[in-house]
Structure 1
Amino acid sequence: MNHTSQAFMTAANGGHPPNYERIKEEYEVAELGAPHGSTSVRTTVINMPREVAVPDHVVWSLFNTLFLNFCCLGFIAYAYSVKSRDRKMVGDVTGAQAYASTAKCLNISALVLSILTVVITIVAVLCIFFSASRLYT
């Protein structure tokens, strides 16, 4: 024992170890009926969530698959999203989080690359249109 624990034992109990029987009797509760004596029952309720919320990104993946499917990244993201949902249904939270993280990265990549493709296409079409209009005027 270190010096601080010895000081605690000597200060609290006059140098004697704590009386474990007395402590046990103070917190003992009868199994049936009301508690004996004038002691009251102390209860503690701990609310634990049954399920950890793991976003599976299925809707985002489906949107990317149907509208912005750049190099099939949306479809691959959808496959990972479905795997994430399956893992969540089984109860494997760690696996569901891993698949959901991969689906999220693929969805971000598909979205960014698709937006860049649309912007580059619009700029190219406008450049071609203006250069063609200059030739014919």
Structure 2
Amino acid sequence: MNHSSQAFITAASGGQPPNYERIKEEYEVAEMGAPHGSASVRTTVINMPREVSVPDHVVWSLFNTLFMNFCCLGFIAYAYSVKSRDRKMVGDVVGAQAYASTAKCLNISSLIFSILMVIICIIIFSTTSVVVFQSFAQRTPHSGF
């Protein structure tokens, strides 16, 4: 740098070193086509989510339909889940949330009732097998080896 350019920089900035970020912003504004002498315009960009995420519980409903379909609650939950997905595709967020909430309640009910039925079946099976085993043990005579 020669002496004449240093004098220009110190005179223009009031004796302070140049602000390189400001120079970079002016370069970008000039690149976009704004006039060279215009003041830089600051903008604020706020990214808004375009779509509110509404869970539709389709996978859970399908699992309950295939494996734990107590009184067809899993199938009904699947129907509500599909309706929730359809409403979400149309853009009706409130309707999608209502159908998703109903599907969730039906899935929880189906899961609880199915687990209770499995526990009751295990209890009945174990008690009947103990009774059957005891009755066979009483009928057969013990042979003395």
TM-score (norm 2): 0.68
Secondary structure of 2:79 counterpart: helix
* Runs of 4 or more above 6 Å deviation: 35-38
Which residue is 1:83 aligned to? 83
Amino acid at match of 1:70: F
1:36-73 deviations in whole A, cap 9, x for unaligned? 97643110001011111111000110110111000000
- In 1, the alpha carbon distance for the partners of 2:134 and 2:35 equals 97
Which residue is 2:128 aligned to? 128
CA contact 1:35–1:41 (8 Å) conserved in 2? no
CA contact 1:56–1:81 (8 Å) conserved in 2? yes
Structure 2 gaps, min length 5: 1-32, 138-145
Which residue is 1:54 aligned to? 54
- In 1, the alpha carbon distance for the partners of 2:46 and 2:118 equals 52
Larger radius of gyration: 2
Which residue is 1:45 aligned to? 45
Which residue is 1:17 aligned to? none
Which residue is 2:118 aligned to? 118
Which residue is 2:19 aligned to? none
Question: What does 1:26-37 align with in structure 2 at a 5 Å threshold?
Answer: 34=34
- How many correspondences in the alignment? 106
1:21-45 deviations in whole A, cap 9, x for unaligned? xxxxxxxxxxxx6379764311000
